[in-house]
Amino acid sequence: MKHVRTLFRVISSEGVTAALNRTLDGLAERQRLRRFEPISAAELQRTNRFTKPPVINLSVLPPHPNRGGSQLQMLDRLREEELLRGVALLYPLANAWRLEVSSGGRRWILDSPKFSSPPPSLLDEHLLEAVNWARKILGTNALHIESLAGLPLDRIPALAEDGPIIVAVHDFTGYCRRPHLMEEPHSVFCNYSSDPARCRSCLGHDWQLPPDAAEVHRHHARQALMAADHIIFPSEFLKAQYSRLFTDLDFETRSLVIEPATELQTKNGIHRPHPHHVAFVGGIKGHKGGALVVKTALRLRERHADLRLTSYGDGEPELIRRLKSTARVRVHGYYRSGKLPRLLVRDEVDVAILPSIWPESYGLVVDESLRAGVPIVAFDLGAIGPRLKRLGVGRVIPVTTGAEGLATAAAQLLNAKVSGIEDAVVEMLPTPRKVAEQVLGLYREFEKSTMATEPGAHCPFC
């Protein structure tokens, strides 16, 4: 019944195509799962096709494309790593944990013993038990935590007691329960507030929590980050910001930046002499600047009456209805993973606007737009501003300029008749293969440091 309600909501707001794309992604995930053969721990250890993975990759969510950017990055990266090493992915599903193992061209799946507690208790009460179960089966203690989001942070130090851990940080989960730092009920960026009363009011809008919930959360996050042998950030911006938020932690010697990537299905190379199509990308949601899209669209129509406007990505139904009725924007809605560049090329989009009002830690949609040859307009906030400046493409504007600034910058690009993105810019963007090689490089560097500090020790990343 829940799936039917979701389907009806998507159709009524985003359209039939968006609902179909969600269904196709669901079918693709089920097809991916069918590629794994059930196997027992004893059979796995006996097979001559099994090469012990150097690390267990831990995810708190099933690797489904519907679940967002971090899951897509992980899936695409691990597909590349499968060509270079044995891969083990552990994640909770229903009332058990699932261990996917890929090695020697074969894929196997093992289910943990069933637990009586369903999620989220499965994470909170049985995380250590599940990890130890996987460690015993695979014969490796090294752990790569793919994201802090959703993990009980107070359990991470215990995970580090039995083996080295690498932690990937994708957002501000380590600082707040709201990873995008949007303050409620005002739906504005909180500017990294640490005021206890202000944080208490914000969190209390959606959860019933103890008065010191924000302080306790940051304490557990600090302990979790201290326990990590290495920390991966997606951008220099996020690394620097965590250094400012946790001034007592040493991020320089234990962290590195690995820009994420997903598999994209198009190539750069567009030339259109008469620009006439602007796209809103990133989804129509509060923290993505959804409320600004209507205002920006109306201002653009004042400048270009015949302009085509399209929104790509899912969003909040009420914002989408306003967008269609008030600003006459075509809403494409949810699209399948990796397909945005192809859609932008197909629809002959000339300029993309990313109106996000929170400090994004990387911004995959920027790469998607640039690979389609489409320049992008965004606020100088988070990692996106510095990246666009470094690449020398698009327009970066102050967040204080709001909808007027977005419309003006987009109109300038249209009037300048920008005809695509240089190949040299596209070549600078990360790919899943590059990311996989960097991660494996980290494992090897970790091996060297482990052997240097613990003579005679066996490195888990060998």
Interval 363-413: pLDDT, tens: 999 999 999 999 999 999 999 999 999 999 999 999 999 999 999 999 999
Q: Which of the following CATH numbers is that of domain 2-262+434-453: 3.40.50.2000, 2.20.25.160, 3.30.505.10, 2.60.40.3680?
A: 3.40.50.2000
Q: Report the phi/psi class of residue 15: left, alpha or beta, with left for phi > 0 and alpha for psi in -120 to 50.
A: left
Residue 201 pLDDT > 60:
yes
Contact (CB, 8 A) for 384 and 356: yes
Higher pLDDT, 296 or 318: 296
Integer Cα distance of 215 and 199 in angstroms: 9
Contact (CB, 8 A) for 423 and 271: no
Looking at residues 223-241, what average pLDDT do you find?
Answer: 96
Looking at residues 43-65, what average pLDDT do you find?
Answer: 86
Tell me what pLDDT residue 119 has: 55
Residue 241 pLDDT > 70:
yes
Tell me what pLDDT residue 15 has: 79
Residue 423 pLDDT > 80:
yes
Residue 270 pLDDT > 90:
no
Residue 448 pLDDT > 70:
no
CA angle 305, 308, 310 (to 5 degrees): 135
Q: What residue ranges do the domains of the chain occupy?
A: 2-262+434-453, 277-427
Residue 205 pLDDT > 50:
yes
Looking at residues 214-229, what average pLDDT do you find?
Answer: 96
What is the residue-averaged pLDDT of the chain? 87
Closest CA to 186 of 196, 176, 201, 174: 201
Residue 77 pLDDT > 90:
yes
Choose from 56-65, 197-206, 316-325 the range with maximum mean pLDDT. Answer: 197-206
| Within this chain, domains 2-262+434-453 and 277-427 share the same CATH topology | yes
List Cβ neighbours of 359 (8 Å cut-off, separation of 6 or more): 181, 189, 237, 241, 381, 382, 383
Residue 242 pLDDT > 70:
yes
Residue 352 pLDDT > 90:
yes
Least confident of 4-13, 141-150, 219-228, 283-292: 4-13
Q: Which of the following CATH numbers is that of domain 277-427: 3.40.190.10, 1.20.120.1630, 3.40.50.2000, 3.30.70.100?
A: 3.40.50.2000
Looking at residues 96-124, what average pLDDT do you find?
Answer: 79
Higher pLDDT, 446 or 214: 214
Closest CA to 272 of 381, 187, 349, 161: 349
Integer Cα distance of 362 and 169 in angstroms: 11
Structural element, H or E, at residue 71: helix 69-81
Higher pLDDT, 317 or 11: 317
pLDDT above 70 coverage of the chain, percent: 88
Integer Cα distance of 381 and 369 in angstroms: 18
Which of the four pLDDT bands, split at 50, 70 and 90, describes residue 451? low
Residue 155 pLDDT > 80:
yes
Integer Cα distance of 7 and 15 in angstroms: 10
Give the pairing of strands 188-189 and 182-183: antiparallel
Integer Cα distance of 114 and 94 in angstroms: 9
Closest CA to 228 of 248, 243, 250: 250
Tell me what pLDDT residue 286 has: 87
Higher pLDDT, 385 or 459: 385
Integer Cα distance of 8 and 58 in angstroms: 33
* pLDDT tens readout for residues 157-172: 999 999 999 999 999 9
Which of the four pLDDT bands, split at 50, 70 and 90, describes residue 462? very low
